[in-house]
């Protein structure tokens, strides 16, 4: 004792207790930080040890092969020792103790692996659920409150609605112009529109699908980081910065197909990388199925399929075949090894290609049997080529310089804004070597190939100049950054992690600058951001700027007409999809998916049609406009204008309702059996 008197009551004062607790908490925090740093260092050392072990195995194998060849050349026979020839006393105490230790260690490793797998599943489930919920709320706010849903998203909602409701619901109503999966995934949600009408009326079903796909993509991105031993802080940092890009955030909440497409491609790339390292058949099959799903989402996946196939061929060909019983020093041995390698390469390529080929051929065959065109997306009057031709004036205004170099330069500028450090990230990934290089190559083959295809299409003038078409570059940058934060590589450096994370920042900042200004083909994105800002500040979005709001107004007006009943309103849903999806009674419309549509559109009066609904301007290939070209200008004597909604130039479109003069017969609530295809 120092002789200093201490009042025992002071020890119970709250201030003293609080100070002690704070000191204890600080000490625990410092200890936890120290343990975390040691854990990261241990992870690095384990990764380096694994790489060294792989290198040692390769060197030992090569040395053994060289020694055997040298002995064979010198005429010295080296006997092969079989494990069966080794005599072991199973009752020896050392053997019993070793066997016990092996069993205990194996059980411990299984327990740790199971615990780690459970933690990984819960982490992925939690993060994916949070991302899905946040994007769903953001999408609901955009659709229900602000009314800003892209036209393509609303069009897919109408396609899903035609499968379960309407005058002639059937699975083929999903259409063959675009990939079926984004629409097909919405069918269960649209089927519940009686519980929540906004699922179809305001496009909420599309939002839920895109939010869910983005959540799954984030889960896969986190799992990819765990595969490579990335620390938790870097995994979360990469995920957050990837989500912060407007091309991921906005398109995860607006119901477009980009989210579904990126999700499938990330799954394919990750499992392709796993196959390259483990040669597991399940990983290769999963990669092939994921590419097939991506193709049935967006047709640009054809480039990703070729990239994945090239990756599989190269990796499979570089693998050393096992001992096949041949003497490798003879000509016969060399031929046998070459034949076996060729068989293995062909088998791996076939495993990957089978689900992809089945998707391509099966979808083309179904399209040919039902609509008479195997590649309707290219040849149909509703297809991409026709739409690009119809919008040539708008495209030229956005790009400015319509020469090949001008179009390519415009797309390159979009790439540099969205993912300015993509190329350096790719080069550093290859330089890092080891598993990082393999995983990076898989990601670049799957996610990078569609970017190259889009560049070629941009130069040819066969695509739109929308800013959203570079979303693949954003996701690829996030994947490469995640790979660089791993611990497996021949060049493992701690500075790579923060550098890789920071490489994502410029793209996020510049992309938001473009989106908020509407430049580089981001006009639709600017409209969504401005509308969200307006509503959040207590304002309202004008109906002229809202596709869904205008659609609901028109649908209510059409259904209010006294003569409207099932099968009484003729319209081409490729133009009026917002009205059909918003209608409380979609069965009143005769649309192109109805199996007697062609007969009805050629002679509406004979089929008892009472009204015809047009959108101005109509979509490319609008069948009603094609059959009655004088209708839109009030020059067709068989129709008279009833009313119209909107003005020319409205982003939401202008709609016109015409009455059919002198209709013969009654409207048909279901397709006429005599005109079914």
Average pLDDT over residues 330-350: 76
Encode pLDDT of 438-494 as tens digits.
999 999 999 999 999 999 999 988 888 999 999 999 999 999 999 999 876 555 567
Distance CA 155, CA 178 (A): 11
- Report the pLDDT value the prediction gives residue 621, as an integer from 0 to 100: 82
- Do the Cβ atoms of 567 and 587 come closer than 8 Å? yes
Pairing status of strand 589-590 against strand 569-571: parallel
Q: Are 461 and 411 in contact (CB under 8 A)?
A: no
CB 419 within 8 A of CB 434: no
CA angle 350, 353, 357 (to 5 degrees): 125
Q: What is the pLDDT of residue 556?
A: 96
Instruction: Write out pLDDT tens, residues 147-165.
Output: 999 999 999 999 999 999 9
Q: Are 238 and 482 in contact (CB under 8 A)?
A: yes
State residue 374's pLDDT score: 86
* Helical spans, DSSP H, in 586-627: 597-602, 623-627
H helix runs in 518-596, sequence order: 523-536, 547-559, 573-582
Q: Which of 244, 277, 232 is nearest to 497 (CA)?
A: 232
256 Cβ neighbours under 8 A, 6+ residues apart = 150, 152, 153, 206, 210, 468
Looking at the predicted structure, is the pLDDT value of residue 20 above 90?
Answer: no
Asked if 210 and 200 touch (Cβ cutoff 8 Å), the reply is: no
Query: How many residues belong to the chain?
Result: 677
Two tokens, residue 7: 């009042």
What is the 3-state secondary structure of 432-471? HCHHHHHHHHHHHHHHHHHHHHHHHHHHHCCCCCCHHHHH
Per domain, the residue ranges of the chain are 230-523, 547-675
Q: With helix as H, strand as E and coil as C, how does 322-369 read? A: CCCCCCCCCHHHHHHHHHHHHHHHHHHHHHHHHHHHHHHHHHHHHHHH
Sheet containing strand 589-590, edge to edge, reads: 589-590, 569-571, 611-616, 654-660, 639-645
Residue-wise pLDDT tens digits, 40-98: 666 666 666 666 665 565 556 566 666 666 656 666 555 554 444 444 455 555 555 56
Please give the Cα distance from 461 to 388 (Å, whole number).
8
Per DSSP, helices labelled H in 141-257 are 151-164, 181-184, 187-190, 198-201, 204-227, 232-244, 246-249
Mean pLDDT to the nearest integer, 305-313? 97
Buried b (16+ CB within 10 A) or exposed e, 387-410: bbeeeeeebeebbeeeeeeebebb
Q: Please say if the pLDDT value at position 333 is more than 90.
A: no
Q: What is the pLDDT of residue 86?
A: 45
- Mean of per-residue pLDDT scores for the chain: 84
Please tell me the predicted confidence (pLDDT) of residue 486: 86
Q: What whole-number distance in Å separates Cα of residue 510 and Cα of residue 561? A: 50
Look up tokens 């994007």; give the residue: 135
Answer yes or no: are the C-beta atoms of 647 and 543 closer than 8 Å. no
Query: According to the model, what pLDDT value does residue 9 have?
Result: 42
Q: Which of 650, 649, 656, 597 is nearest to 627 (CA)?
A: 597
pLDDT digits (tens, 9 = 90+) for 217-236: 999 999 999 988 899 999 99
CB-based contact 667:600 (threshold 8 Å): no
Query: Using the 8-state DSSP alphabet, how is residue 145 labeled?
Result: I
User: CA torsion, points 322, 323, 329, 330, in degrees to nearest 10?
Assistant: -100
Tokens standing for residue 137: 């709320």
Residue 255 scores a pLDDT above 90: yes
pLDDT score for 489: 56
Question: Residue 4 has what pLDDT?
Answer: 39
Looking from the CA of 547 toward its CB, the CA atoms found within 13 Å total 24
Task: Provide the token pair at 205.
Answer: 């079903």
How many percent of the chain have pLDDT more than 70?
Answer: 78
* Of 85-94, 183-192, 381-390, minimum mean pLDDT range: 85-94
pLDDT per residue as tens digits for the range 589-598: 999 999 999 9
Residue whose C-alpha is closest to residue 630's, from 588, 592, 658: 658
**What's residue 409's pLDDT?**
94
Which of the residue ranges 88-97, 535-544, 570-579 would you say has the lowest mean pLDDT? Answer: 88-97
C-alpha distances in Å from residue 616, one per residue of 105, 383, 579: 73, 19, 13
**Mean of pLDDT values over 119-136:** 89
Written as one string, the DSSP assignment of 189-202 is HHTTTTT-THHHHS
Q: What angle do CA 522, 524, 525 make, to 5 degrees?
A: 65
Residue 644, helix vs strand vs coil? strand
Q: What is the pLDDT, as a whole number, of residue 85?
A: 45
Contacts of 586 (CB under 8 A, 6+ apart): 161, 162, 165, 166, 167, 580
């Amino acid at each position: 004792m120092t002789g200093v008197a201490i009042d025992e009551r002071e020890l119970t004062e709250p201030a003293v207790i609080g100070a002690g607790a704070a000191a204890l908490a600080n000490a625990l925090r410092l200890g936890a930080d120290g343990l975390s740093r040691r854990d990261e260092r241990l992870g690095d050392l384990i990764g380096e040890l694994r790489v060294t072990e792989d290198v040692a195995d390769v060197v030992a194998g090569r040395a053994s092969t060289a020694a055997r060849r040298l002995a064979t050349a010198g005429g010295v026979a080296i006997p092969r020792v079989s494990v069966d020839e080794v005599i072991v006393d199973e009752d020896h105490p050392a053997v019993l103790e070793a066997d016990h230790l092996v069993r205990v260690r194996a059980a411990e490793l299984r327990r740790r692996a199971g615990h780690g797998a459970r933690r990984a599943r819960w982490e992925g489930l939690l993060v994916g659920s949070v991302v899905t919920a946040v994007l769903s709320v953001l999408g609901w706010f955009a659709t229900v409150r602000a009314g800003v849903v892209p036209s393509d998203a609303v069009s897919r909602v109408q396609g899903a609605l035609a499968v379960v409701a309407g005058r002639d619901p059937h699975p083929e109503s999903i259409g063959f112009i675009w990939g079926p999966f984004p629409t097909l995934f919405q069918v269960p949600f649209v089927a519940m529109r009686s519980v929540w009408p906004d699922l179809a009326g305001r496009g909420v079903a599309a939002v839920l699908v895109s939010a869910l796909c983005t959540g799954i993509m984030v889960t896969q991105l986190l799992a990819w980081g765990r595969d490579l031993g990335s620390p938790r802080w870097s995994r979360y940092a990469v995920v957050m910065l990837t989500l912060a890009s407007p091309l991921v955030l906005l398109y995860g909440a607006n119901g477009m197909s980009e989210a579904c497409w990126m999700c499938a491609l990330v799954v394919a790339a990750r499992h392709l990388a796993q196959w390259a390292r483990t040669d597991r058949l399940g990983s290769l099959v999963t990669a092939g199925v994921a590419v097939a799903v991506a193709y049935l989402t967006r047709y640009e996946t054809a480039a990703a399929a070729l990239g994945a196939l090239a990756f599989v061929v190269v990796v499979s060909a570089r693998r050393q075949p096992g001992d096949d019983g041949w003497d490798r020093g003879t000509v016969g041995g060399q031929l046998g090894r070459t034949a076996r390698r060729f068989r293995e390469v062909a088998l791996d390529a076939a495993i990957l290609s089978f689900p992809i080929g089945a998707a391509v051929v099966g979808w083309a065959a179904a399209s040919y049997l039902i609509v008479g065109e195997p590649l309707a997306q290219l040849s149909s009057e509703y297809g991409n080529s026709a739409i690009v031709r119809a919008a040539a004036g708008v495209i030229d205004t956005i790009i400015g310089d319509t020469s090949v170099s001008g179009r390519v330069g415009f797309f390159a500028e979009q790439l540099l804004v969205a993912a300015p450090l993509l190329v350096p990230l790719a080069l550093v990934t290859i330089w890092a070597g080891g598993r990082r290089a393999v995983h990076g190559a898989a990601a670049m083959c799957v996610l990078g190939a569609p970017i190259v295809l889009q560049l070629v299409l941009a130069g040819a003038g066969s695509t739109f100049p929308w800013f959203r078409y570079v979303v693949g570059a954003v996701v690829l940058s996030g994947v490469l950054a995640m790979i660089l934060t791993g611990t497996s590589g021949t060049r493992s450096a701690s500075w790579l992690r923060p550098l890789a994370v920071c490489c994502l920042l410029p793209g996020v900042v510049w992309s938001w600058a473009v989106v908020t200004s509407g430049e580089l083909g981001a006009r639709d994105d600017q409209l969504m951001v401005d509308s969200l800002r307006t509503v959040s500040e207590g304002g309202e979005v004008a109906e002229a700027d809202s596709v869904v709001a205008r659609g609901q107004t028109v649908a209510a007006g059409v259904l209010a007409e006294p003569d409207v009943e099932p099968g009484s309103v003729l319209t081409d849903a490729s133009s009026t999809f917002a009205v059909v999806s918003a209608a409380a009674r979609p069965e009143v419309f005769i649309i192109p998916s109805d199996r007697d549509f062609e007969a009805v559109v050629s002679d509406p009066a004979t089929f008892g049609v009472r009204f015809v609904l047009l959108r101005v301007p109509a979509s490319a290939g609008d069948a009603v406009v094609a059959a009655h070209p004088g209708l839109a200008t009030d020059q067709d004597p068989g129709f008279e204008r009833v009313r119209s909604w909107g003005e020319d130039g409205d982003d939401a479109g202008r709609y016109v309702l015409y009455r059919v003069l002198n209709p013969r017969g009654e409207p048909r609530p279901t397709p006429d059996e005599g005109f079914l295809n």
